[in-house]
A and B are shown apart, each in its own frame.
Chain A
Amino acid sequence: MNHKKDFPIFKNSKNLIYLDNASTTQKPRQVIKSIVDSYETTNANIHRGIYDLSQKATRKYDDARALIAKFISASHEEIIFTRSTTESLNFLSYVLDSIIPEGKNEILLTEMEHHSNLVPWQQLARRKNMKLKFIKMKSDFTLDLQDAKNKITYKTAIVSITHVSNSLGTINPVKEIFEMAKRKNSMTILDAAQSAGHMKIDVKKIGCDFLAFSGHKVYGPTGIGVLYGKKDVLKIIPPFQFGGDMIKAVTFNGAEWNTIPERFEAGTQNIEGAIALGEAIRYVENIGLKKIEKHERELLAYALEEMKKIEGINVYNPGIKNSSGIISFNIKGVHSHDVISLLDDCEIAARGGHHCTMPLMKILGIPGTARVSFGIYNTKKDVDALVLALKKINGKFNGK
């Protein structure tokens, strides 16, 4: 697999080794071209123009929605465009309390959630006097399913879990956990920020009521995200923002809402962003998610093997069987930000720090980790360069 040629950034930064894909991905030419095309050929507001140009823009926007729906095996009215995963989850934290049945007052998360799937729920819990609970992580960096079983009860209103841990790479057994949740009639939410674009996602098989992901982590633009919601559930939750196309009819005294999904898209949307995200999904689907998953898994296996050979490196990863293409690590006696600065000197872009999972870092007993994460354009050569640089850093600090 060699897809670097599709990404202009690698032409402009010839030596760049980009290993921060869990943070954001680079954009293929097709996506960049799509944004330019939108502005140069079909720029008009959507859904309300009678004229041809507006209809063209509307068609492209709707096509993107349909493409994204197919990408996760949903139907088009189940796809709401947002700004990001974070906005999708925040939206849910504001609207779901109105449909929580009597007697349910617990929200269940895991110990490895990103702040974006933790803080909104903390705020909801505070507003509505609910209780937060967390599924424990075992010492092998996977979730404790027995603990999940114990904590999912008839009191559980919401179970919101990350598909893949952005800090550890752990692929969580979300299907099993959501099955437990459904038996207790709890709402199920999947944070797919780290899995979308890296593995096949089927919302029906996973059994989630909601799913959130970001455009910019699947080779699309920033400022566009997706919230999937099961049709039956979307139909009964109230709108959150008011104005624009979310309205069917207005009088001076009230308003009638549009149907789903438009009911949840107030104001003029990020039209070119949604269309470009559709293009990114098309790009990913053309390569094939099975192929992408296999490729990233090979890089993961190779990198783990090579990194483990370096004495002084501590890896926080559940192993190839349970991991996506993300590796967190520390070099003995070296702060993660020093590792990242020194990698940067070798033109390797990686991430250091707590990765917006401060409670998880506390459990691990460390302030942070250095993290590399793979995408479709990474190669074994990139891993070789990484390993060489890590050996040099280790030698510099630990004299080996």
Chain B
Amino acid sequence: MNHNNFSERMYREHILELYRNPSNFGKMKNPTKKHTEHNSFCGDEITFYLKIKDGRIKDASFEGSGCVLSVVSSSMLAEKIRNMNISDVKKFGKKDLIDLLKIKISLARLKCVLLPLNAVVGALEKNA
């Protein structure tokens, strides 16, 4: 049995630390937009809250239960898009998010990582 990859691949300590105490976690009071995205693969759900002013994300937070990858990805994405122009957020793609995490993601787990991005896109597409 080969345990060499065990901690190297995607469960590095800084990732696990962020999973235990995720930043930008929690429900937002009076968000401009919010959206819940489900991962049909595992049943997880992540809700993203956005406060928008003058075409800019003033604040972002998320809520929900998920695996290490979806929680960490959500936390990092909320951090990243804060103070971004909406037009820039819309350009922020899958690859940008994966680059942000700086870890190797297997194909099977890509959905976990991309769940928050879909939640943000879904929120921005909403009218209210």
Instruction: List the interface of chain A (C-beta within 8 A of B).
Output: 15, 17, 335-338, 341-342, 345-347, 352-354, 358, 361, 367-368, 385, 388-389, 392, 396-397
Distance in angstroms from A24 CB to nearest chain B CB is 16
Q: Which residues of B does A touch, CB under 8 Å?
A: 1-3, 5-7, 9-11, 16, 41-44, 65-69, 106, 108-109, 112
Check A368–B1 contact: CB distance below 8 A: no
A-B interface pairs (CB < 8 A), number: 62
Verify B44–A367 contact, CB threshold 8 A. Answer: yes
The answer to whether A358 touches B43 (Cβ under 8 A) is yes
A17 CA to B3 CA in the complex, in Å? 13
- Asked if B109 and A353 sit within 8 Å, CB to CB, the answer is no
- Report the bound CA distance from A345 to B2 in whole Å: 8
A367 touches B6 (CB 8 A): no
| With contact pairs A335-B66, A338-B67 given, residues A345 and B3 touching in the complex (Cβ less than 8 Å) | yes
Indicate if the CB atoms of B43 and A346 lie closer than 8 Å. no
Contact A353 B42 (CB under 8 A): yes
Q: Is the CB of B106 within 8 A of A341?
A: yes
Task: Give every chain A residue within 8 A of B67 (Cβ-Cβ).
Answer: 335-338
B42 to chain A, nearest CB (A): 4
Q: How far is the CA of A352 from the CA of B39 in the complex (A)?
A: 13
Q: Are the CB atoms of B42 and A345 closer together than 8 Å?
A: no
Alpha-carbon distance between A392 and B9 when the two chains are bound, in angstroms = 15
Are A342 and B6 CB-contacts (below 8 A) given A335-B68, A337-B112, A347-B1?
Answer: yes
Known A-B contacts A361-B43, A368-B43; the reply to A341 vs B2 at CB < 8 A is: no
- The residues of A that contact B5 with a CB separation of less than 8 Å are 345
Specify which chain A residues have a CB less than 8 angstroms from the CB of B108 in the assembled complex. 341
Set of chain A residues within 8 Å of B65, measured between Cβ atoms: 335, 367
Known: A345-B6, A367-B42. 7 other contacts (CB 8 A): A15-B2, A337-B112, A341-B109, A346-B6, A392-B3, A396-B7, A397-B16
Contact, CB under 8 Å: A352 / B6: no
B66 closest partner in A (C-beta): A335
User: Lowest 10 CB-CB distances: which A-B pairs, in order?
Assistant: A335-B67, A353-B42, A367-B43, A345-B5, A337-B67, A354-B43, A338-B67, A338-B68, A345-B6, A385-B1
Report B-chain residues with C-beta under 8 Å of the C-beta of A388. Answer: 1
Provide the residues of chain A in CB contact with B2, threshold 8 Å: 15, 346-347
CB-defined contacts of A367 to chain B, threshold 8 Å: 42-44, 65
Alpha-carbon distance A367/B70, docked complex (angstroms): 14
Could you list 29 A-B pairs, sorted by A, with CB under 8 Å?
A15-B2, A17-B1, A335-B65, A335-B68, A337-B42, A337-B67, A337-B69, A337-B109, A338-B11, A338-B67, A338-B69, A341-B108, A341-B109, A345-B3, A345-B5, A346-B6, A347-B1, A347-B2, A354-B42, A358-B43, A367-B44, A367-B65, A368-B43, A385-B1, A388-B1, A389-B3, A392-B6, A396-B11, A397-B16
A367 to B43, CA, bound (A): 6
Tell me the smallest distance from the CB of A183 to a CB of chain B, in Å: 38
> Which residues does chain A contribute within 8 Å of B3, judged by CB atoms?
345-346, 389, 392
Give the residue name and chain of the B residue nearest to A337 (CB).
B67
Q: Are B11 and A353 in contact (CB under 8 A)?
A: no
